């Protein structure tokens, strides 16, 4: 591609940061180890929105659709880590009929439940255990911070025609999620921590530019015209979702407090103190 142009811009969100989902650790396995990231009161939060001070939104997939030609597309399948009872990255790109690899770095077992989803509802893609490294210590607690790679689990994604959204959860720890958007050409980016993105070597022409975030509502679209060796700047702005978003909300419930299991639990946020 010798005369390709570029598409650059920034994705922001207005309305403030939505309340994170909250999970009572005593109702899930491994509350002490996974509680190394928690509120200090027995709750683990799933922060789905990473927002910069100026509203820049991280983890947005920005992509051109219906590109008839362009630079060679060599797709590198993603590798997702389970580390500290959290899937990372939170958002990635996937491709239909390609692999996704998942590795458990934790000294506890995880379970992969992967789906494709759309407004019509989810469909199971695969479900399998995610083993831990056998050299991990068996008794781990709040001060256990060692990570060893378990056996990588590789699965191929087979999406139904017209569906592009991939989501993976842990069957043991519901606060572990990772999302993916299926791409069909090399013209995509995942926004940085400041919400910025850049697509390069785009053939001159008229295109539809799409911005998608797994929890920010419907994807946004804009028409863009790329000229030879030119740069077009296009920005997107999401509105933060409001109201009741999930059944998982942080609350005070004496029936399911830290003593609910009939014994004392050493749940301490030794790695990260989360704030609602």
What is the DSSP code string of 48-67? ---B-TT-BBSS-EEEEE--
pLDDT score of 192: 98
Under 8 Å CB-to-CB from 218, ≥6 apart: which residues? none
pLDDT value of position 23: 94
The reply to whether 253 falls in a domain is no
- Domain contains 219: no
Instruction: Give a yes or no: residue 99 inside a domain.
Output: yes
Name residue 114's beta-bridge partners.
126, 168
Q: What is the pLDDT of residue 68?
A: 87
- Asked whether residue 133 is domain-assigned, the answer is yes
Q: What is the pLDDT of residue 263?
A: 67
Q: What is the pLDDT of residue 265?
A: 84
Quote the CA–CA distance of 89 and 144 in Å, as a whole number: 22
Cross-strand pairs, 23: 44
- What are the residues whose beta carbons fall under 8 Å from the beta carbon of 247, sequence distance 6 or more? none
226 assigned to some structural domain: no
Q: What is the pLDDT of residues 79-93, one digit of tens each?
A: 999 999 999 999 999
For residue 164, being part of any structural domain is answered with: yes
Tell me which residues of the chain have a pLDDT lower than 70.
247, 252-263
Question: Which domain covers residue 85, as residue numbers?
Answer: 74-184
The count of domains in the chain is 1
Residue 171 in domain: yes
Q: Which residues contact 97 (CB under 8 A, 6 or more apart)?
A: 156, 157, 158
pLDDT in tens, 240-265: 998 777 767 777 655 556 665 566 78
CATH of residue 105? 2.60.40.420
Q: Answer yes or no: is 84 within a domain.
A: yes
| pLDDT recorded at residue 66 | 86
User: What is the pLDDT, as a whole number, of residue 261?
Assistant: 57
Q: Alpha-carbon distance 271 to 39, whole Å?
A: 11
pLDDT of residue 205: 95
91-94: strand order across its sheet: 91-94, 177-182, 165-170, 110-117, 123-130
The pLDDT assigned to 244 comes to 73
At residue 242, the pLDDT reads: 85
């Amino acid at each position: 591609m010798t005369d390709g142009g570029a598409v650059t811009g920034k994705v922001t969100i207005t309305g403030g940061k939505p309340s994170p989902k909250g999970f009572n650790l005593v109702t899930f396995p491994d509350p002490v180890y996974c509680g190394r990231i928690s509120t200090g009161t027995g709750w683990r939060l799933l922060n789905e929105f990473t927002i910069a001070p100026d509203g820049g939104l991280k983890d947005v997939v920005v992509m051109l659709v219906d590109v008839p030609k362009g630079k060679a597309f060599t797709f590198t399948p993603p590798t997702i880590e389970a580390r500290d009872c959290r899937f990372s990255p939170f958002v990635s790109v996937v491709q239909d009929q390609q692999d996704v690899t998942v590795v458990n770095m934790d000294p506890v077992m995880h379970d992969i439940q992967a789906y494709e989803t759309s407004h019509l509802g989810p469909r199971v893609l695969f479900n399998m255990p995610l083993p831990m490294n056998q050299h991990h210590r068996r008794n781990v607690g709040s001060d256990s911070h060692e990570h060893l790679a378990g056996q990588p689990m590789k699965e191929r994604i087979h999406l139904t025609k017209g569906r592009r959204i991939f989501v993976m959860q842990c069957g043991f720890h519901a606060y572990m999620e990772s999302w993916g958007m299926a791409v069909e050409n090399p013209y995509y980016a995942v926004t940085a921590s400041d919400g910025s993105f850049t697509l390069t070597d785009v053939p001159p022409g008229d295109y539809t530019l799409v911005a998608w975030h797994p929890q920010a509502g419907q994807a946004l679209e804009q028409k863009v015209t790329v000229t030879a060796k030119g740069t077009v700047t296009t920005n997107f702005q999401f509105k933060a979702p409001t109201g009741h978003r999930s059944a998982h909300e942080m609350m005070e419930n004496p029936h399911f407090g830290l003593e609910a299991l009939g014994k004392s639990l050493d749940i301490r946020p030794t790695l990260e103190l989360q704030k609602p």
